[in-house]
Structure 1
Amino acid sequence: MSTPSPIPVIFVGEGGLDGGQLTARQRGWAEANGFSGQRGKLLALPGEGDGLAGYLFGIGAAEGRPAFVAGLAATALPAAEYRLEGELGDPTLAAIAFRLGAYRFDRYREAKPVPTLVLPEGADAGEVDRHVTAATLARDLVNTPSSDLGPDNLHKEVERFASERGMNFKAIVGDDLLAENFPMIHAVGRASAQAPRLLDLTWGDESHPKVTLVGKGVTFDTGGLDIKTAAGMLMMKKDMGGGANILGLAHAIVSAKLPVRLRVLLPVVENAISGNAFRPGDVLHSRRGITVEIGNTDAEGRLILADALALADEESPDLIVDMATLTGAARVALGPELPPLYSTDNALAAEITAAGLAVEDPFWPMPLWSPYDGQLSSKIADMNNTGAGGYAGSVIAALFLRRFVGKAKAWVHLDILAWAPEARPGRPVGATDQGIRALFSVIRQRFGA
C-alpha cells in the first residue's frame, strides 16, 4: 500500500491570487469562496472526484505580517502530513512556526493526532529541530501542574536534562544552602514540604567565553504570608517559567555546540506557608553580603535570583542572562506579548531587540533608571525587596537585581510571562516560550565560531 503524499498548503498573500502560483481553476475557486489571501483564512481545494487537492492559506498583507503566520495554518488544519508552498518567507522560520502551532499538551488526556510537516525546500533541519525541541521543553514544564512538578520533580527533570546532554550537574539542597551561603534561597523555600535547592549545570570548554544563564524556579507561589488571592494563584504553576525557558535556551546552545563555557543556575523553591515561613519585616542576609528587609513576601523571585546572580557574577563571565516571571507591572506596562528587557549593555539590548523582532520572539528595552534606586531603601537594612512608592514595579525589580551583579561584562534581565492568554501565531493558549530564539541568535552571533 502506497504512502499518501504530503498535502500541499499554498501560502497566498493579500491580493496575491494572480501571482502565478495558482491555476486558473484554483483562482476561480478562491474567488468564488471569497478568498483573497486574508490572514489566517484556510480554504480547501477540491481535487479529482471527491478528493482534496490541498489548501490555500492566507498570510495577509506584507506590512504587519507576523513572521510566525505559518503557525496559524497548523492550528487550523486537520491531522495529516503537509508540505508548504508559495509565499513562505524564511522557510526555516515558517517550519518552526508551523510545528509550534501544532503544539498540544496532552499529559492528562488522550493525545490526539496533530498536523505534521515535510520540511520546505531551503529549511535548516537542525535549526528547526533545535528550536522546536527547546520551545516544547519549556512549554511542557510550565504547563505541568505543581502537584507533578514541585522542587523534587523539577530537580529530577533538570538532572535528566543535564545527563542527556553531557552536562555536569550539581545540586545544593535544604540546609546545605545555608552552609554554602545561599541564605535567601533557603529562606524563601524553607516553608515547603519539599526543600529549596540550587541546581548548577555546566558544559563546554573552560577556555571559551563564559555565558551564564539564571532562571527563576518557583514551582508554585502562594505569595507567602502576604498571600495572593484565589484568582492570583490560579496560574502560579507557571512561576518557574523563567527557569523553563532558560533550559530551552541551554538546549539550543548545547545542540548547536556553540563555543562557549555555559553555566546554568536554577534556584528552585516553592513559596509556601507554614510556621517557619519568612515574614514581612524580616531582614535576610544574602550571598553578596547585602541585607534585605522584606517589604512583601510575594516579591520572592528577586530574592532567590539575587543569590544565584551573586554566584554567577563571582566568575566575572562575559555574559549573564536571567529570565523570570517576575512582576505583574511588566504586563501592565507592555502586555503579555512583549516582555521588557533590561541590560547594563545598551548595544547588546539593541541586538536582542532586533533579533527578537526578526524571529517572532519580541522584547522591548526598558531603562535601569537609577533615580528610582532610592525607592529600595530601608531604615534598618541595606535595602528593601519592594519599592516604596508602588510605581515602576518592573524597573524597581530590575534595579534590585542589578545590585547583585558587578563583575560580569554584560548582564541581561528578561521579565517574561511565559504564558499566552490568547492564541496567536505559533503560540496556542497556555504555556509559551519566550527569549529562546532571540537570545540564541545573539549569543551565536557574538560568541559563535
Structure 2
Amino acid sequence: MTFIFAPADAASLPLHVVAADQFEDWVARRSTAERNWLTGCGFSAGAGELCLLPGAEGAIAGAVAGLGTARDQARGRFVLARAAARLPEGNWHLVHDLPSVALQEAALGWLLQGYRFDRYAKAAPLRARLVAPDGVDAARIEALAAGEVLTRDLINTPASDMGPQELEEAFLGLARQFDARTNVIRGDDLLAQNFPMIHAVGRASVRAPRLLDMRWGSAGPLVTLVGKGVCFDTGGLDLKPSASMGLMKKDMGGAATVLGLAQMIMALRLPLRLRVLVPAVENAVAGNAMRPQDILTSRKGLTVEINNTDAEGRLVLADALALADEEKPDLLVSMATLTGAARVAVGPDLAPYYTDDAQLAAALEAEAPAACDPVWRLPFWSPYETMIEPGIADLDNAPKGGFAGSITAALFLRRFVEASPRYVHFDIYGWQPSDAPARPKGGVGQGARALLAALPRVLDL
C-alpha cells in the first residue's frame, strides 16, 4: 500500500466535487448531454453520491461526487472518501470550489481511504489515485497519513504477533528510520532501575515487560510523549469476562498513537526535541501476578493499593510519567486506552482529554476541527481527589462506586506530574467500531493530528 499522491504531471481525469445546495446552479452550467445524463442517473449531489460522466466512444470523461448538505457534512468526516472508494482505476484531479479546510480534509481522507490491513488476508486496493490539489501541503498530508497507518497497523495486529518484544521492534524500527536514539530496559532490570509498577504489571507474562525510550532532535522545546503499551490485557487475577477481553489487542492503542504522532513530528522535522516513552507489558495471570490489595511503591515514591488488577494501565503510565517529569519537559503528553468510563461519557468517536493549561486547551479546540480529529475536554476535577485516596496507601488504583471513572484515572496520573509546566492526558478508544469513510472497522488513531496542529501555537514553533 502507498499513501502518497499521484505525480502532479500525471495524466488524470476530472472529479467534480459539488455540494447539494450548489448542485442546481452547477448543473445549469453543464452541457445539455451532461444534464440529461445526470438526471437520468438520479444524481443529486447527496453525501457520497458518485456519477461517472461518459465521453467519446464510451470512454470515461470524468466523474461528479456529491458532498450532501451542510448538515450531512457536519454529521460525518471525509465525505469525499466515499466516492474515492468507488472510482475506477486511474489518476484523478479535483474540480471544486472548496474552502481550504475542506480541501485539506478531502485530500487526507482520500489517502486514508486507501488503508487496508492485509497482513493476514488479501484486500482489494483503492484503485483511484489523487493528484494533490493546488493549495494543499502534499508532503504534510502524506506524513499525516503515514503516521496514521503506523498506528492502525500496530493496533490491528493481534497479540500473538504484537507482544512487548514485537512492539519494541516496531519502536526501534521507527527510531532507525529517523536516526533517533533509543534505550530499552527489560525484565528484572526494571526493578534495578526503579520502575516497580511497570515490572509488577508485566512480570506474570512469559513475555518480559520493558520500558522503551526514544529521543530525537537536538534543539527547541522538549516534548515528551508517553503511551500505554499493554499489548494484551486479561485483567490479571481480576480476570475480564470474555466479552470484555475480546478487543484487548487494542490496549496498546496509546503506544500506537504516540508512535504515529512521533512519526509525523519527525517526518515533518518540527523544530523541537522529542522523547517517546512506552511501557510495554502484557497483563497476564500466573503465580507471581500482582494481587488485589497488594500495595506497590511507585518510582515517584507514592504507594498504590491495588484494588483491581484490571486497572493496570495507570500503573505502568505512572512510572513512565514520573521518569518523564524528572526532566521537566515543556510539554508532557500521555495517551492511553484507559477507561470504559470515557467511552460511556463521549462514545467511540471523540477523544476526551484533560489539562490544566488554558492555552493548550484553546489550541486543541481551535485546531482539532481542521485536523479532522475531534477531541473533547473533560475536567481534572480536584474535589474527586479523595476518591483515589484509600487511607491505607497514598493512592487507590480502582476506587469503588463507579462514578467519574475517567476523571479519577486522570487525577491518578496527574499525581505523578509535578515539574512539567504543561501536561495533557488523552483517554482514547483507539478503535473504529464500524466502517466509516477513510476509517475502516479496526484500529484508529485519535488525538494525534489535533495535538500536532496545536504544537506551534503552544510552543511558539
Compute the TM-score of the two structures, normalised by the length of structure 1.
0.95
Q: Does 1:310 align with 2:322?
A: yes
Q: 1:68 aligns with which of 75, 78, 84?
A: 78
Whole-angstrom distance in 2 between the partners of 1:229 and 1:339: 25
**Deviation of residue 362 (structure 1)?**
0.6
Whole-angstrom distance in 1 between the partners of 2:266 and 2:47: 36
Whole-angstrom distance in 2 between the partners of 1:246 and 1:79: 34
Q: 2:186, 2:210 within 8 Å by CA — same for their partners in 1?
A: yes
Which residue number corresponds to residue 336 of structure 1?
348
Which residue number corresponds to residue 155 of structure 2?
142
Q: 2:224 aligns with which of 212, 221, 224?
A: 212
Q: Does 1:59 align with 2:67?
A: yes
Which residue number corresponds to residue 258 of structure 2?
246
Q: How does 1:122-271 map to 2 (within 5 A)?
A: 122-205=135-218, 207-271=219-283
Which residue number corresponds to residue 6 of structure 2?
none
Q: 1:259, 1:448 within 8 Å by CA — same for their partners in 2?
A: no
Q: 2:375 aligns with which of 338, 363, 369?
A: 363
Q: What letter is aligned with 1:84?
A: L
Which residue number corresponds to residue 36 of structure 2?
28
Whole-angstrom distance in 1 between the partners of 2:223 and 2:46: 43
Q: 2:236, 2:309 within 8 Å by CA — same for their partners in 1?
A: yes
**Deviation of residue 64 (structure 1)?**
5.4
Which residue number corresponds to residue 3 of structure 2?
none
Q: Does 1:10 align with 2:20?
A: no
Q: 2:48 aligns with which of 16, 40, 64?
A: 40
State the SS of the aligned residue for 2:269: coil
Q: What letter is aligned with 2:414?
A: R
**Deviation of residue 373 (structure 1)?**
1.1
**Deviation of residue 188 (structure 1)?**
0.3
**Deviation of residue 287 (structure 1)?**
0.5
Deviates more, 1:433-442 or 1:60-69: 60-69
Whole-angstrom distance in 1 between the partners of 2:186 and 2:292: 24
Deviation track 1:378-413 (CA, whole Å, cap 9, x = no partner) reads 132111101222111111110110100011111000
Q: What letter is aligned with 1:23?
A: R
State the SS of the aligned residue for 2:70: coil
Deviates more, 1:141-150 or 1:51-60: 51-60
**Deviation of residue 67 (structure 1)?**
5.2
Whole-angstrom distance in 2 between the partners of 1:357 and 1:278: 42
State the SS of the aligned residue for 2:450: helix
Q: 1:92 aligns with which of 98, 104, 115?
A: 104
Which residue number corresponds to residue 383 of structure 1?
395
With over 3 angstroms needed to count, the CA separation of the structure-2 counterparts of 1:64 and 1:113, relative to structure 1, is closer
Deviates more, 1:85-94 or 1:155-164: 85-94
Whole-angstrom distance in 1 between the partners of 2:421 and 2:12: 49
Deviates more, 1:114-123 or 1:244-253: 114-123
With over 3 angstroms needed to count, the CA separation of the structure-2 counterparts of 1:231 and 1:76, relative to structure 1, is farther
The unaligned stretches of length 5 or more in structure 1 are none
Whole-angstrom distance in 1 between the partners of 2:460 and 2:68: 35
Whole-angstrom distance in 2 between the partners of 1:358 and 1:192: 42
Give the root-mean-square deviation of aligned CA atoms.
1.7
**Deviation of residue 423 (structure 1)?**
2.2
Compute the TM-score of the two structures, normalised by the length of structure 2.
0.93
Which residue number corresponds to residue 352 of structure 1?
364
Q: 1:79, 1:113 within 8 Å by CA — same for their partners in 2?
A: no
Q: 2:210, 2:281 within 8 Å by CA — same for their partners in 1?
A: yes
Q: Does 1:424 align with 2:436?
A: yes
Q: What letter is aligned with 2:449?
A: R
**Deviation of residue 148 (structure 1)?**
0.8
Q: 1:406 aligns with which of 415, 418, 424?
A: 418
Which residue number corresponds to residue 122 of structure 2?
110
State the SS of the aligned residue for 2:56: coil
Q: What letter is aligned with 1:125?
A: A
Deviates more, 1:63-72 or 1:399-408: 63-72
**Deviation of residue 79 (structure 1)?**
4.3
State the SS of the aligned residue for 2:52: strand
Q: 1:73, 1:101 within 8 Å by CA — same for their partners in 2?
A: no
Whole-angstrom distance in 1 between the partners of 2:11 and 2:220: 46
Whole-angstrom distance in 1 between the partners of 2:88 and 2:238: 47
**Deviation of residue 20 (structure 1)?**
4.1
Whole-angstrom distance in 1 between the partners of 2:296 and 2:86: 51
The unaligned stretches of length 5 or more in structure 2 are 1-8
**Deviation of residue 56 (structure 1)?**
1.4
Whole-angstrom distance in 2 between the partners of 1:28 and 1:197: 65
**Deviation of residue 10 (structure 1)?**
1.5
Deviates more, 1:77-86 or 1:313-322: 77-86
Whole-angstrom distance in 1 between the partners of 2:317 and 2:80: 36
- For these two proteins, the number of residue pairs brought into alignment is 446
Which residue number corresponds to residue 292 of structure 1?
304
Q: 1:74, 1:99 within 8 Å by CA — same for their partners in 2?
A: no
Whole-angstrom distance in 2 between the partners of 1:303 and 1:396: 13
Which residue number corresponds to residue 93 of structure 2?
83
Q: What letter is aligned with 2:16?
A: I
Deviation track 1:240-278 (CA, whole Å, cap 9, x = no partner) reads 111111011111111121111111000000111111111
Whole-angstrom distance in 1 between the partners of 2:447 and 2:211: 22
Q: What letter is aligned with 1:218?
A: V
**Deviation of residue 70 (structure 1)?**
2.3
Q: What letter is aligned with 2:30?
A: T
State the SS of the aligned residue for 1:76: coil
Q: 2:359, 2:458 within 8 Å by CA — same for their partners in 1?
A: no
